[in-house]
Structure formats: C-alpha cells, structure tokens
Amino acid sequence: MDNQDTKNLKKRYFIWLYKTTKEAFDKFERKFTQTDIDKDLLQEIENTLMGAYLPHEKAELEKHVNNFQEYIAAKEKACLELKYKGQKTNTEFIFLDVKLNAIEKLIAKEFGRRFLAQIKALYEKEMTKRILRSTDH
C-alpha cells in the first residue's frame, strides 16, 4: 500500500467518523432547532389568522392552532427529556459534543480546514437528499 492509499483510507475513516457522530449528535440538537422554528411558525400563523376570517371559520381554525401548540409542547418536553436527565445534562450528549469537536479538530489538523468544510458540505447535502427522498410525513 502506498502513501496515497493510506491517505485515502484515513480520509474515508474520518468521513465515516464525522457522519456517524454528527448523526448521533443531531438526534439531540435537531428537536431543539425544530421547536424554535415551530414556535416562530406558530406566531406567523396566529398573526395571519388574527381577525382575518369569518366567525364560523374561527372555531375550526382555533382547533388547528391549538393542536399545533400541543404538538410543539409535546416535542419540547420530549427533547428536554432526551437531552437532560433530571437536572443534569445527558452524558451521551456531552460525550458526542466533545467527540464531534475532536473529530473536526483532527480532520483540520490532518487534511486542512478546506477538507473539513468539504466533509460538512457533503454531510449537509446527504441529509438534505434524505429529507427530500423521505416518504414519511
């Protein structure tokens, strides 16, 4: 095996390490991001619906808004339970955060910040493709 083969193996391993660790870490973080967006979305919906519809539509629209509020509250509760164990932060979350930072640091050290940026871009592209291909609703 020559030096280029070894370098390619290292690159692929770093890509795999980044991908698997980032996916695990994102399981914690994505719900918090989603609830922030959901709250903003709810505010926009409420602002648009406020007084803009006829009285016979109002009750049904309020049901939809209330259901969305309950959905957000349940999601927020679930993500808090995932990330925190009582008053303490889940140690798996802490470990994944530290591990991801260490992987990024080693990638930048071994192959440069440009390669790290490429890995991040590839990961983001792949995750976006998965979302667009998904048939789950």
CB 31 within 8 Å of CB 79: yes
With CA atoms as reference, report the closest residue to 90 among 76, 101, 103, 80.
80
Report the predicted TM-score, pTM, of the whole model to 2 decimal places.
0.80
Q: What is the pLDDT of residues 63-106, one digit of tens each?
A: 899 999 999 999 998 888 888 877 788 889 899 999 999 999 99
Q: What is the pLDDT of residues 50-61, one digit of tens each?
A: 766 777 777 788
Q: Is residue 137 over pLDDT 70?
A: no
DSSP, residue by residue, 47-86: HHHTTTS-HHHHHHHHHHHHHHHHHHHHHHHHHHHHHEET
Instruction: Give the Cβ contact number of residue 119 at 10 Å.
Output: 20
